[in-house]
Chains A and B, each alone.
Chain A
Amino acid sequence: MARKKDDQRAMVGSEEVKFTIDQLRRIMDRKHNIRNMSVIAHVDHGKSTLTDSLVAAAGIIAQEVAGDVRMTDTRQDEAERGITIKSTGISLYYEMLEGDLKNFKGEREGNEFLINLIDSPGHVDFSSEVTAALRITDGALVVVDCVEGVCVQTETVLRQALGERVKPILAVNKMDRCFLELNLDPEEAYLTFQRVVESANVIMATYEDALLGDIQVYPEKGTVAFSAGLHGWGFTLTNFAKMYASKFGIDEAKMMSRLWGANFFDSATKKWTNKHSGTATCKRGFVMLCYEPIKQIIELCMSDQRDELWSKLQKIGVNMKSEEKELTGKALMKRVMQSWLPASSALLEMMIYHLPSPASAQQYRVQNLYEGPLDDPYASAIRNCDPEGPLMLYVSKMIPASDRGRFYAFGRVFSGRVSTGLKVRIMGPNFIPGEKKDLYVKSVQRTVIWMGKKQETVEDVPCGNTVAMVGLDQFITKNATLTNEKEVDAHPIRAMKFSVSPVVSVAVTSRVPSDLPKLQEGLKRLAKSDPMVVCTMSETGEHIISAAGELHLEICLKDLQVDFMNGAEVSISDPIVSFRETVFERSCRTVMSKSPNKHNRLYVEARPTEDGLAEAIDDEKIGPGVDPRNRSRILSEEFGWDKDLTKKIWCFGPEGKGPNMVVDTCKGVQYLNEIKDSIVAGFELASKEGPLADENMRGVCFEICDVILHADTIHRGGGQIIPTARRVFYAATLTARPRLLEPVYLVEIQAPEQVLGGIYNVLNQKRGQVFEEIHRPGTPLYTVKAYLPVIESFKFNESLRAQTGGQAFPQLVFDHWDMVSSDPLEPGTPAAARVAEIRRKKGLKEQITPLCEFEDKL
């Protein structure tokens, strides 16, 4: 009886169900038969479409519609815009034939495999989704459009993957464009593909990692697939090698090596050579044995030469059903190619062969993942992927549930197992081992495996798998580490590092004041639903939403109003761009401020930090968390600091870790230690709200030159020193030629030559600076790279579309802070106007507070 019931829990409503949830659950225990992988790529290179063909192979959607459904685009706006916005997980079951596994060297238990796949968005604005996906996977399928090649986002996500020690494999996608659209010469096509592989390898080569092994991809080793996601076909050289090995009677591996690179076959002499012999019959192995056969079949299909097609197909062992033979043109071609070279089997095989199982991946990833000591039981449980060990689970994102307001916590079990009803310790991002901050103990209400548009409840999920949990959403904002209730010694899993930062903000207020509670609730949900978006509040009492880019913001605002506030209207301000304040040179004199009781004096100078130092602090190479000896070495070697001075850094700020610092350069001052905390507190305030426009400071180093203190403790308390420190830091900044820093985007635009003029026009209007223009060989496409100030970037997309007839798609990603060259203290300059504008928005006096308010005379 129970058996039968279980059978009815078969996967999806389609008639053609290939596996049941029980089968799936069974493999989840076999840690060597699991592959966790994400699909990553530049926008519009065909990730979701390619994913579809994999899903089709698992029987969740019908083979016929694969390529059109976009199973992993679950949201309405994703379907409408045709881009992926949220990363979506899907678990696939795949059974390999014994024969296909004969070359498999790794460990396995049986022929069944479970592939936990996460489809991620390609637009830069949603990079955070990619980061969240990479954290919980071990392998990455990097999809590259064979015509457009490796683009900026391909590079970004690839770097991120390698940073997380995620092993990449490559899929050269949109092969159909070569045949149907561009009609490339075979040799030319080969060169195009080779360039794609090479440029990917160039990036990967910079991440040499002994533990991860050789991470470069080679078609001749089977780590590169060629696919046409839209038509659902694809192959690796393994497929062809197998085919020809038996035909030519040579070893499969040898055959494979001949199918790529400088291996030429002369059909007249039947000889293989390393060089093109110059005769007409001599052709590259790949061209002759892979590319041209495909080309022939496609041409036969498209030109409707049926008889010849059937005989050809017979020869290569493809049998078509009679009703399929009725098809014509593209439909026929799609069907034929799918039967001949199904993308799913090529890709799945590649994943199973070349991507690590959790058992092997966690051995080296534990270093990246675990924050605590690598010899404690938790680290070794992760390393061994031990289902019997303590639970270590990382929640990488929250997924909105169908009942409004609730969320699934989605993550990966690294060790132990999570089950329904289990009491777990939730360690939030601010948790510090040994303390009780940001720590909750709660029960998991339900464990669920994610199937794209559907979810299936299971009793428990063992390590090595992705999982979604119900009942924890009221304690997790974005991510968290979960462990068993009693495991009080466990350290959390390292927080994710995002490649983008939230630079674009708007203020929102509820249209109707009584909707404020709704707005608060909505913001709370919005903050959970997205790994990147930040919902904060300005000092003036407005709610601020910050996102990575304009599109991201647009999606967030839509989600907020429609989904999270049930349609209650909000009024949205103009975009707010945050600036930074810095200094241009050393203070023209040592400035002094007196405490309110006039008994204490601080003498300070400000100077800009060395080039690259602020970035180094951002990257946490030099910061409060770094070992002082290391910091001292880097500062003296790379930035030319005096060795002694490096030991006298008092603090960084704002938030105790920002790119500004206080250095003590005074000698023999009594009681100086005592006021250190007060000065640090004053610095914290000053560096958070600079003197120009209350923006954060960046790249300012304050040197304390001298201090005079009252002899009685009571007269040099915090009340005297903190405000004085703040004033003196402001005074020092104002005397060091203060400047405004504005955020700048890196823009990459791919477009055909004829619209380049339009692109330059728009960029010029928006203060953009083009620094690179490359023609992509073999295509009519140009890649233009430029810097564009964030403040000018709003509506950039629209004007670009208007100027180029929609042929240019920009990708904007925050790149660096750029100094506004004019002097903000001089009235009438652009910088001064900008400062006045910011101050007005913040409700400050438009005039910058003059120096005399901060500096005291003797």
Chain B
Amino acid sequence: MDFESNYDIVGSAQFIRTHDFTRVALQFPDHLLKDSTRVVTALRKRLQSLKKIDVTEGGHEKDVGLFVMADTAYGSCCVDEVGASHINADSVIHYGHTCFSPTTNLPAFFVFGKASVCIPDCVESMSKYALINSKPIMVLFGLEYAHSIQQIKERLLKPSDPKLEVHFADVPSSVMFPSKDTKKINGLQEPASGYHGESGTTYSIGGLTWKLPEGQSMDDYSLFWIGLDDSAFANVVLTFNTCDIVLMSIVVVKIPIKIMNLFDSAILEARYELDWWQDFRYDANENQMVTDLFQQRRILKRRYYLVERAKDANIVGILVGTLGVAGYLHIINQMMELITGAGKKAYTLVMGRPNPAKLANFPECDVFLYVSCAQSALLDSKEYLAPVITPFEAMIAFNRGSQWTGAYVMEFRDLINLPQTEVADQEEEARFSFLKGGYVEDFGNQENVEEEREALALVNATEKALQLRNNSNAIVKGNARSGAEFLATRSYQGLNMPIENISPEPYLIGRRGRASGYEDEKNQQ
């Protein structure tokens, strides 16, 4: 694959030229940064040649400023509009893997890159799979494979086998303009999980869109994914987790025995767990079909656990995970309302891309709510001291009466127009915590408590300050309802008692060197 086509130099130049952009930011993810200079050179050359044509046509003359942006503060899949606005850019060209989240202000051009795929193998296994499978197949793919899809499609449908019902998602256009419609900026766009148009339901996820005829839903289809096991795939998997399970046999030429085994175990598993979805993945690099999605299935269960954990939280930290995705302010406000409505305390934290050490600086937060684009939304690791949940999970956790149904929404934009489930509080009941195995108090149930607490917070805190603490060891974590209360229960209150011996300390020579190994330590080794 040659360089120019991989980086779509022609398309990018065309994009700049046709819209007359003068300051263009080129956003590279870290692993592509090494190519940035070559891309800039090539692009500039291309623009030059286009300019010549322009000049001959007698247009105006302008220099195009190209700026390379690296090291984005948030996920590299989103367009870094804040970074681009630092240099007053009027458009962004985004390279590499993208989540295709809509931008707020700047037009963007996406270069997905082109990954190679062995088309005949892919077509063969797909058609075999389709023959045995009773359900129609919907083919979804990673954007970096978009370039081969047309070929696969042609090849696959060439035999004109009427029985073969294979549908392909549409290849997205590489150009994105921020929506002028204010309603849309607020995020009121078509929901990713599908909306009912006149002629059927349109789905869109991670840039891919497709349409299903009237009366059909994704449950009637089997999903076929061409691409890597990356965040885009995880996104698809979680969003369409209710897709009906179809048992299918796949025979891949290369390793039939292994696949048959996988198939057998898949039958068993499916019989055992009818509740979870199953779809199939075609890994283009290794050219093999993977049906064992146990790991992904676990994720969903794990998310269910995190939701239950979040229900027990008193203090929620809202992590701002994006400054670019359209509607992020709206969702943050909505989440704030939701959390305070549930009688919990919310703090908004802006810290760039979160990591465990950063989050551990806020031990008072029982749970973090991460507002970001769909593909970087899932943060889960043992390293985190408190669970990190998505806005959708927060909706379930903090809305009294909403149930975990297994349906999952990754894009927070879809939550904005999700109907607020009005929970008629007809039966007052304390909330049952499944982690503690008993009833726990819900502050929402107790009127006026919150108000009183706000007004008297200081008074209460000072009152407690003078309480006799019989045992400093009795530190109870997790009962604090606000950051102030948490700090009040800390054993360390800010100052050490002056040590009786106040004679001056002798002069000492400190350590030298860097923290990773001071000089005296280096000598020891």
Contacts and interface: CB of A to CB of B under 8 A. Distances in A.
Interface of A: 428-430, 436-440, 474-478, 509-514, 516-517, 520, 523-524, 527, 534-543, 571, 596-599, 624-625, 627-628, 649-652, 656, 671, 673-674, 676-678, 680-681, 684-685, 717-720, 722-723, 843, 858
B405 A439 contact: no
A428 B433 CA distance: 14
A438 B308 CA distance: 19
A539 B384 CA distance: 13
A718 B475 contact: no
Given A514-B405, A536-B436, A541 B305 contact: yes
A572 B490 CA distance: 43
B298 A540 contact: yes
A436 B303 contact: no
Interface in B425-456: 427-430, 432, 434-441, 446, 449
B432 A524 contact: yes
B521 A598 contact: no
B438 A429 contact: yes
Nearest to A857: B525
Given A543-B434, A598-B516, 20 more contacts: A429-B438, A437-B441, A440-B430, A527-B438, A535-B437, A536-B434, A536-B437, A539-B305, A540-B302, A596-B357, A624-B473, A625-B471, A625-B474, A674-B492, A677-B475, A680-B491, A684-B477, A722-B360, A723-B385, A858-B524
A667 to B, nearest CB: 13
Contacts of A717: 361
A656 B446 contact: no
A597 B357 CA distance: 9
A433 B40 CA distance: 69
23 contacts: A436-B441, A437-B441, A437-B479, A474-B429, A476-B439, A509-B275, A512-B274, A512-B275, A513-B274, A527-B437, A535-B437, A537-B434, A539-B302, A540-B305, A541-B298, A624-B471, A628-B473, A656-B476, A676-B491, A677-B492, A719-B359, A723-B356, A858-B521
Nearest to B490: A677
B358 to A, nearest CB: 6
Nearest to B304: A541
Contacts of B479: 437
A722 B356 CA distance: 10
Contacts of A430: 440
B316 to A, nearest CB: 17
Given A651-B473, A681-B477, A541 B303 contact: yes
Nearest to B476: A656
Contacts of B275: 509-513
B360 A723 contact: yes
A582 B514 CA distance: 37
Contacts of A516: 403-406
A442 B492 CA distance: 39
A474 B298 contact: no
Contacts of A542: 301
A723 B357 CA distance: 7
B440 to A, nearest CB: 7
B490 A541 contact: no
A97 to B, nearest CB: 49
Interface residues of B, number: 59
Nearest to B430: A475
Contacts of B305: 537-541
A656 B385 contact: no
B57 interface: no
Contacts of B300: 541
Contact of B435 (A527, A536, A673, A676): A536
Interface string B459-495: 0000000000011011111010000000000111000
B517 interface: yes
B439 A477 contact: yes
B473 A650 contact: yes
Contacts of A627: 470-471
A399 B356 CA distance: 46
Q: Which 6 pairs of residues, A with B, have the shortest CB-CB distance?
A: A541-B301, A513-B275, A477-B438, A719-B361, A541-B305, A474-B429
A475 B446 CA distance: 13
Contacts of A475: 429-430, 439
Contacts of A719: 356-361
A476 B439 CA distance: 7
Nearest to B242: A513
B334 to A, nearest CB: 25
Interface in B221-242: none
Contacts of A681: 363, 385, 477
A520 B404 CA distance: 10
Most central of B275, B428, B432, B438 by chain A CB within 10 Å? B438
Contacts of B521: 858
Nearest to B515: A598
A336 to B, nearest CB: 53
B274 A673 contact: no
Nearest to B473: A624
A63 B26 CA distance: 95
Contacts of B161: none
A590 to B, nearest CB: 14
Given A436-B446, A597-B515, A598-B515, A478 B438 contact: yes
Nearest to B359: A719
Nearest to B428: A474
Nearest to A541: B301
B385 A673 contact: no
Interface string B334-371: 00000000000000000000001111111100000000
Interface in B288-325: 298, 300-305, 308
A438 B446 CA distance: 11
A719 B521 CA distance: 25
B206 to A, nearest CB: 25
Contacts of B440: 430, 438
Contacts of B383: 723
A188 B479 CA distance: 63
B496 interface: yes
Contacts of B403: 516-517
Contact of B471 (A428, A628, A684): A628
Contact of A513 (B406, B449, B473): B406
Nearest to B518: A858
A149 B301 CA distance: 51
A597 B355 CA distance: 13
Contacts of B361: 717-719
B437 A720 contact: no
B490 A523 contact: no
B357 A843 contact: no
Nearest to A657: B474
B473 to A, nearest CB: 5
A476 B430 CA distance: 8
A122 to B, nearest CB: 26
Interface string B501-525: 0000000000000011100010011
A445 to B, nearest CB: 13
A512 B233 CA distance: 26
Contacts of A509: 275
A741 B231 CA distance: 40
Nearest to B514: A598
B91 to A, nearest CB: 37
A858 B519 CA distance: 11
A718 B434 contact: no
Contacts of B303: 541
Contacts of B492: 673-674, 676-677
A800 B288 CA distance: 51
Contact of B437 (A534, A596, A656, A843): A534
Contacts of B436: 536
A527 B436 CA distance: 11
Given A624-B474, A681-B363, A537 B302 contact: no
B302 to A, nearest CB: 5
A21 B329 CA distance: 66
Contacts of A685: 385
Contact of A541 (B302, B432, B476, B524): B302
